[in-house]
Amino acid sequence: MLLLAALLLAAAKAPLKLFLLTGTVRGRNGQRVSLVENRMEQSGQVLSTVMIQNDQFRLSCNVEQKTTVYLVFHEEKERKSYPLMLKEGHFNFCADEGILNG
């Protein structure tokens, strides 16, 4: 029991590797935006999804390893996507400029 408590305490102190993306897009309020592992597959794992509000969004997920993911905007009849590297850090997205390191 004591060993289990020690393992839980050690795991709780381990730093999280977090990917955080904040973004600004105009005219897309109420639209969904997602981080997806594989945009070509309908079954690609969705890592995070939010609705755009006040022309802004904020997505985050844990990073286990660096990998390519896709920022996907779910428009009415199509999906627009941007490839990006999933890695630890805070990044900014502006529809006119793409991904910017923050």
Q: pLDDT per residue over 47-85, tens digit each?
A: 999 999 999 999 999 998 899 999 999 877 777 888 889
Please name each of the domains of the chain with its CATH number: 16-101 (2.60.40.10)
Nearest to 60 by CA among 22, 32, 19, 16: 19
In sequence order, which residues have a C-beta less than 8 Å from that of residue 95 and are 6 or more positions away?
A: 23, 24, 25, 26
DSSP state of 95: T
**What are φ and ψ of residue 87, in 5° steps?**
-150, 165
The confidence score (pLDDT) of residue 17 equals 87
What are the distances in angstroms from CA 79 to CA 10, 25, 43, 72, 87?
A: 42, 15, 14, 6, 23
The answer to whether residue 1 scores a pLDDT higher than 60 is no
- The per-residue pLDDT for 44 is 72
- pTM comes to 0.76
- Tokens coding 7: 């393992």
